[in-house]
Structure 1
Amino acid sequence: ALIALLRWRPKALVFIEQTSNLHLVMLARMLGVKVVIANVSLTEYRAGKYRRRPFGSKRFKLADLVLAVGEEHRQRLLDLGVHPDRILVTGPPVPPPPKEQDRERWSTEWRQRFGIRNGEPVIVAGSTYPEEEGVLLEAFRRVKQVAPDAKLVLAPRHTSREDLDQVVRQSGLEYELRSRLNGKPAQADVILLDTQGELSHVWGTATVAFVGGSLMRRGPGHSPLEPLSWCVPVTMGPSFEQQTAAVNLCKEWGIVQICTDPAVLAETWLAASQNQEYRRAFSERCEEFLTHGSKVYERWWQAICNE
C-alpha cells in the first residue's frame, strides 16, 4: 500500500469501517491524497474503547471524510471529536444480488448437495452462537410437527469451536456435517455447515433464513442484508446493536421479522414456507429494496469524488 501511494498518487485512499493504519493515513495527507473511511458502523461499546485508547479516535479524526451508516453512528463520531463537516450519513450499503444465472446454478448445486427436494421447506440459520442454537433447534422441532419434510441448515459463526455439534447432538435430532458428505446428498434433517466461505451461497437454498448473533448480546451479529440479497425472508432476534442501521432500514421496508422465542420463530418460519403468495409479494418488495439500497454506493462515489 505504501508503494502504491507513492507511485500512483491516487485521488483517494478509502478504508472500510475503520483503519488502524495511521501511517498510511499520515502519508496520504502529506501527499494530498483524500482519506475516506466508508461504511462506519460504530457501537457505543466500540466507541468507548476508542475513547480510552491514546490514539483511538485519531483513526477517524484524521480522515478527510467519514461515511456513516446511520445518524446514531454520526453522533458517536461527533462524541469522539470528529468535525461535523467531515461526517456524511449515507445509509447502510446493500450487497448486490447474484446474477440470475449464478443464483440458479448455486441454488441448484447446494440443494443437490443437501438432498433437498422440490417443495421441501429449508431454514438456513447463519452465523449462530451456541447460546442461541438450542432455541433454533426447538423452533425447528416445532416446525417439523407441521412440516415433517422440513430441513435446517445450521451454520455456526465459529466453525473451529470444540463443541461445534454438541448442541445439535444433545437435541436428539439427526444431523450430518457438511465436511463429511463426500459428494453424497445429505439424508438427515439437520445439516451442520462446519466449513468456511460457503454461507453466502447456501443462503440461496433457503425458504426462510435466520440471522445469528441476534438472540443475545454477544459479538457484532450478522447482517440481514446478505440473505436478503437472495430475496429470502429473514428472521432474527431482538439484539442487533452493530446492525441497527441495516435492521431499521429493513424493518421500514417490511422485509425482516423480529422473533424472541421458539414459538414465534416456528410460527414465522411456517408462515413464510407455506404461503406462496407471501413469498411472491416478499420477493417483489425485496427486489425493489435491493435496487434502492444499491444507491448508497453512488452516494459514496459522489462523496469521494467531490472536491
Structure 2
Amino acid sequence: MIFLYNLLLPLAALVGLPYYAVRMVLTGKYRKSLGPKLGFYPDSKVFSGLGGSPRIWMHAVSVGEVTAAAPVMAELRTRYPRACLVLSTSTETGREMADRLVTEATAHIYYPLDLPFVVARMLRRVRPDVFVPTETELWPNFLTQCRARGVQVVLVNGRISPRSFRRYGRTRFFWKGLLEGLDGLGMISETDARRVQELGALREKVQVLGNAKYDSLASRTSDDLRAEISRKLDIRPGSPVFVAGSTHEGEEAACLAVYRRLLEVDPEFQLILVPRHIERGDAVADLVRQAGFKDIFRVSEMGGGRRRKGNRIVIVDVIGELFKAYSLATVVYCGGSLVPRGGQNILEAAAWGKVVLYGPSMEDFEGEKALLEEAGAGISVADEEELLARMLSLLADPEQLKRRGEQGRLAIAANAGAARRYADLIGRHLAAR
C-alpha cells in the first residue's frame, strides 16, 4: 500500500501544484510555510538548540488542533521540565496561534510534506522518542518511518467526524494497517472510539479520555482578556453586541438580515463579523456594503494605524481574535452550521458564559452540541427566521440569558481534566520504550 501511495504522490503533486502556486501568487498564502514543509529552514538554530529529554513531538494541524494541544503541552512541561517539546503545525494561521498559545514548546516547526526524503530528514533532526498527532492527522510515510525508527506514536484528542468516517471507510483497506501500527489512541468520545476501531484500530489500544479543548478554554478566559479586546475594538462593557463567529460563505447575508431586525429592537446594537477564513475579508466587506451598511471597521486596518471610532459593524479579518471577541457578545451565532459545513467550535463562546445559537449542520461537533444543549446553553435553529426569533426571545429575558450562559460555562469547567489524562497516556508510552 505504501508503494502504491508513493507511486501516486507525483501525480497528486502535478494536479495540486498549479492550484497552490496561483494561491501563493494571488494571496501570499503558503509563502512562509512551503520551504519549511520541504525541510528547508533558513535559521539552522531551530534544530541545533533541541536539547533535552524525553523528546516529544506533538503535531496540531491548524488553529482548532492547537487549542487542544496547548493544555497537553503545558501538562507535559510541568511533568518533564527538561524535556524537548516540539510542536508542529500545517498551516500558517495554526503556526501564529501556536506561537501565542504554546509557550512551553522548545521549538515550533512546520509539519513536513509526506515525501519520504523530507520526512526522513525531519525525523533525523528532531529525533523524537514519541510522536503525538492530535485529532486524526495520519500521514502514511511519516507513520511508516516512525515505526521503522522505533518512535512511539500516540494519538491524542482523537476524533472521527461523520464525514471523515465515510471518507476513510471507502479506503479502509489502506488505513487499517496504519491504524493497527499506532501504539496508543486516546479518543474524545465513545463514538470516536467505535469509529476508529471500525476503521482498523486495535481495540486494546483505544481509550476514551475526553476533549482537551475543555481544559484550554477553561484556562484562557479572564477579565484582563475581555478588557483588552474591549479597548482594542472600542466597545464598552455591557453594550449590546451580536457576534457572528466562524461564518462561511452564505451565512453573512443571513446574519446581516438578522442584525437589521435587531437594530429595530435596539438601535445601539453592534455587529462583530468573524469570517472563518480571513482571506474572505474583502468579500465580506463588499457584502456588508451591498446590504446597505456603510459604517464598517476592519480589524486588519489597525496595522495601518486606524482605530475604531463608533463604527456600527466590525469585521475581524485577522487571526486569533475570535475567542476574545466572544467575550463582548450579548448574543452569539456560530457559523459553518446554516450551510452544510459540519459546524465550528461552539465551546469558545460558551466558555465566556454565552448562550450559543447555530444551524442544523453540526455533524463535526456532536459531542459539544449535546453538552451545551443539555446545559441549556446551546440552541439549534433551522434557518434565518428562527435564528432571529430565538435571539429576540433571549433578549426579552436577560436573566434567563445570563443563567443559561453560566450553565454552559460550568458544564465546560466540569469536563476539564482531559489534558492530564492524555499526558498520562504519553507518559506510559515513554516508560515503555
Q: Compute the TM-score of the two structures, normalised by the length of structure 1.
A: 0.85
Shift in alpha-carbon separation, 1:3–1:201, aligned structure 2, 3 A: farther
Change in Cα spacing, 1:303 to 1:227, as seen in structure 2 (3 Å) is: same
Q: Structure 1, residues 74-125: CA drift from partner, whole Å, max 9, x if none?
A: 232122121222222233331333556xx22332232233332343211111
Of 123, 129, 137, which residue of structure 1 is paired with 2:256? 137
2:315 corresponds to 1:199? no
Q: 1:38 maps to what in 2?
A: 156
Shift of 1:31: 5.8
Aligned residue in 1 for 2:348 = 226
Secondary structure, aligned partner of 2:273: strand
The question of 1:242 aligning with 2:364 is answered yes
2:345 corresponds to which letter in structure 1?
Answer: S
Deviation at 1:52, TM superposition (A): 4.2
State whether structure 2 residue 300 is matched by structure 1 residue 179.
yes
C-alpha RMSD of the superposition: 2.7
Structure with higher RCO (Cα < 8 A, 6+ apart) = 1
Alignment of 1:57-206 (within 5 A): 57-93=176-212, 94=214, 95-98=216-219, 103-161=222-280, 163-174=283-294, 175-180=296-301, 182-206=305-329
- In structure 2, how many angstroms separate the alpha carbons of the residues matched to 1:264 and 1:121? 20
Q: Is the 8 A contact 2:237 2:328 kept in 1?
A: no
Per-residue deviation at 1:294?
A: 0.9
Give, in angstroms, the shift of residue 237 of structure 1. 0.9
Q: Does 1:300 align with 2:422?
A: yes
For 2:372 and 2:230, how far apart are their aligned partners in 1? 27
Asked if 2 retains the 8 angstrom alpha-carbon contact of 1:39 and 1:69, the reply is: yes
Contact in 1 for aligned 2:262/2:269 (Cα 8 Å) = yes
Letter in 2 for 1:81: G
CA deviation map 1:22-42 (0-9, x unaligned): 455445545655421112221
Query: Cα–Cα, structure 1 residues 132 and 99, in superposed 2: closer, same or farther, change >3 Å?
Result: closer
Local SS of the residue matching 2:278: coil
Percent of aligned positions that are identical: 26
Alignment of 1:269-284 (within 5 A): 269-273=391-395, 275-284=397-406
Aligned AA (2:155)? I
Q: Could you report, residue by residue, the CA deviation over 1:241-278 in whole angstroms, capped at 9, with x for unpaired residues?
A: 11112211222222211122233222333444454422
Q: What SS does the aligned partner of 2:197 have? A: helix
Task: For residues 188-217 of structure 1, give each alpha carbon's deviation from its aligned partner in whole angstroms, at most 9, with x where no partner exists.
Answer: 321111222221222222222221101121
Paired with 1:273 and 1:60, the residues of 2 have a C-alpha distance of 48
* Separation of aligned partners in 1, 2:198 and 2:286: 43
Aligned residues: 301
Amino acid at match of 1:237: G
Matched residues in 2 for 1:283 and 1:221: separation? 20
Which residue number in structure 2 is paired with residue 209 of structure 1? 332
Q: Secondary structure at the match of 2:279?
A: coil
Give, in whole Å, the separation in 2 of the partners of 1:31 and 1:89: 28
